[in-house]
Every structure is written in structure tokens, then in C-alpha cells.
């Protein structure tokens, strides 16, 4: 059984972002040795005993220079909005590959910041568990789906432990109706990351990065998901009653406006992914030689 991660060095990527700053502050409270990295230097004062190293995640050599003596890597470094594929590829796809290779060299577990946009083209009237189909709603979501599959590959082939957190809407408080289902409080984010860092036998897991919202679309079967405690419902009165996204695509699918971006179908995307599922027919059998 793998021992829980305690005082071993932890590398935090994306440390200059909003969530990186929060994690840098909160993770050091547990007495961890923390190393921060990002493409740009943080605009906040580093916690005592924490050091920062500049690195472009798309640059393999720059990532290797970060060292390989980590007990865990909390990987939050990425382009965090929808962009052209060329803008996504370097930091999100090549970068994830470089980080997982670094984790393999370090024999470190990875806490990977995935996203609800990896499954965004599921309808809002469908409740999902962690084993649902990947249905990315853009190139950003596609990069997060890639990261989840990369985590599975490195577990099956190399035994590398990881937790992919499918983060919903991690903001200070909900500001729109969708957030009442997708909100992840800052406190719950820290609780989920801590659960991944300290679990005695992490294996390869996916957990919803969402608070314990009464209106949640996502059902947690994994014990790590139960670390979340907050509920967006207490903010419901402050969200405009009856408000909805401006277009029918955004309001139909769980990914919201990410689904509507560049959408040019003349009809809604069907829920069924494969034709044989919609016919009621069993999948054709195949002979394996």
C-alpha cells in the first residue's frame, strides 16, 4: 500500500494564477515543502520557505530543470479558457505530457486540474458519475480529456498514481444559475486537493471538483469526492430568479457557453454518441484472434 504524502516536496504548477495563489498559501499551512512554477512570476508575496522557478510547460527541457525529487505534483498550469487549438496545444497538451513524465521520474503522484468541460456536451437533465463518457465542449475541454486519459495510461503502464479533479466553477461565490450546480468553493478545492495528497492508496482516480451542491449534476461515488462540504444553495437568492444563458445551446448543455462557442450545427447534438446505442441493438460481436 502506498504511504500517504506528508512532508515530501510538492511542486505546484500554475502558481501565478488565482487558484495557484490560493493553493500556495493553503498547502503551506500543512507544513509542506512547496516549490512553485509558472510562466510568469507571482504578483504576491511567497509564503515563508517557498521558492519559485520560472518554467514554460510547453518546453520539455524547462520542465526537466525543475528537478525530480518531488513526492507530488499539483498540476494547475494551463491555458484556462477556450482558445484556438494552437494556443491550447503547448501549455495544456504538451505541458501535461511533460508533467506526467516528470512525475514518473520523481515517482510522484499527480493531482491534475481537469475540468467539467471535458464532459460539457452532456445535457443538463442527465446526472453523471465519474465513469461517464468524455464529451469535450471545445479545445480546452479536449485538452483536459487528454490529461485524464494520460493519467490512465501512466497508471496502467507505469503505476503512476493520480487524481483528476473535474473542476466545475471555482469562484468565490456563484453569480449565475449554472453555478448553483457547478460551484466549487475555495475551501472545498483545498479539501479535495488535500484528500488526493494524503490518500494512502490513490491509484488512478477521477473526482468531481464540485461542492456538495443541492442542485449538482454530478454524483460522487469515490470517497475523495465526499471531502467537499459547501453548498451553493445558500447563494440562490442572490442569483437572478429565472435567469438563463442567452442562447439555447448554452442552456441545454452542462458546459454552458463553451458549448455555444463556434457551434454551427442546425440542430442539437444528440445525447447518444454511437448509432448502435440508439437502436436498442447489442454491439456487434468481434472475434479476437
Predicted confidence band of residue 269 (pLDDT cuts 50, 70, 90): confident
* pLDDT tens by residue, 77-120: 999 999 999 999 999 999 999 999 999 999 999 999 999 999 99
Could you tell me if residue 5 is inside a domain? Answer: no
Residue 186 lies in a domain: yes
Q: Is residue 78 part of a domain?
A: yes
Residue 37 in any domain: the answer is yes
Residue 287 domain-assigned?
Answer: no
Question: Residue 38 is part of which domain span?
Answer: 10-274
DSSP H helices, the chain, are 18-28, 60-64, 85-88, 95-106, 139-158, 179-182, 186-198, 248-252, 257-260, 275-278
Cell triple for 14 = 500554475
Axis crossing angle, helix 139-158 with helix 95-106, rounded to the nearest 10: 20
Q: Is 44 tagged catalytic? A: no
pTM, full prediction: 0.92
Cβ neighbors of 136 (< 8 A, separation 6 or more) are 117, 118, 119, 120, 121, 142, 144, 145
Q: Residues 111-134: pLDDT tens digits?
A: 999 999 999 999 999 999 999 999
List 140, 146, 154, 253, catalytic entry: 140
| Domain at 139, CATH number | 3.40.50.720
Q: Is 116 helix (H, G, I), strand (E, B) or coil?
A: helix
Q: Which residues pair with 112 in a beta bridge?
A: 75, 164
Q: Which three cell numbers stand for residue 223?
A: 470517497
Per the structure, the count of domains in the chain is 1
The pLDDT tens digits of the residues spanning 31-49 come to 889 999 999 999 999 988 8
Amino acid at each position: 500500500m502506498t504511504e500517504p504524502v506528508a512532508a515530501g516536496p510538492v511542486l505546484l504548477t500554475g502558481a501565478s494564477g488565482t487558484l495557484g495563489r490560493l493553493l500556495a498559501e493553503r498547502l503551506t499551512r500543512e507544513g509542506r515543502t512547496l516549490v512553485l512554477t509558472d510562466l510568469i512570476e507571482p504578483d504576491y508575496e511567497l509564503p515563508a520557505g517557498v521558492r519559485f522557478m520560472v518554467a514554460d510547460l510547453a518546453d520539455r527541457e524547462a520542465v526537466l530543470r525543475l528537478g525530480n525529487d518531488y513526492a507530488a505534483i499539483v498540476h494547475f498550469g494551463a491555458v484556462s479558457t477556450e482558445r484556438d487549438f494552437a494556443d491550447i496545444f503547448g501549455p495544456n497538451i504538451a505541458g501535461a505530457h511533460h508533467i506526467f513524465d516528470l512525475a514518473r521520474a520523481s515517482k510522484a503522484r499527480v493531482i491534475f486540474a481537469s475540468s467539467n468541460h471535458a464532459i460539457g456536451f452532456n445535457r443538463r437533465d442527465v446526472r453523471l458519475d465519474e465513469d461517464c463518457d468524455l464529451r469535450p465542449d471545445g479545445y480546452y475541454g479536449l485538452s483536459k480529456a487528454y490529461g485524464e486519459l494520460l493519467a490512465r495510461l501512466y497508471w496502467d503502464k507505469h503505476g503512476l498514481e493520480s487524481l483528476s479533479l473535474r473542476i466545475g466553477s471555482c469562484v468565490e461565490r456563484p453569480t449565475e444559475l449554472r453555478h448553483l450546480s457547478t460551484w466549487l468553493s475555495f475551501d472545498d478545492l483545498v479539501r479535495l486537493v488535500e484528500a488526493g495528497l494524503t490518500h494512502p492508496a490513490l491509484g488512478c482516480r477521477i473526482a468531481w471538483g464540485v461542492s456538495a451542491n443541492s442542485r449538482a449534476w454530478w454524483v460522487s461515488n469515490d470517497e475523495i469526492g465526499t471531502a467537499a462540504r459547501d453548498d451553493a444553495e445558500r447563494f440562490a437568492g442572490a442569483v437572478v430568479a429565472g435567469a438563463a444563458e442567452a442562447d439555447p445551446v448554452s442552456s441545454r448543455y452542462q458546459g454552458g457557453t463553451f458549448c455555444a462557442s463556434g457551434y454551427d450545427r442546425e440542430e442539437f447534438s444528440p445525447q447518444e454518441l454511437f448509432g448502435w446505442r440508439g437502436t436498442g441493438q447489442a454491439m456487434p460481436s468481434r472475434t479476437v484472434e
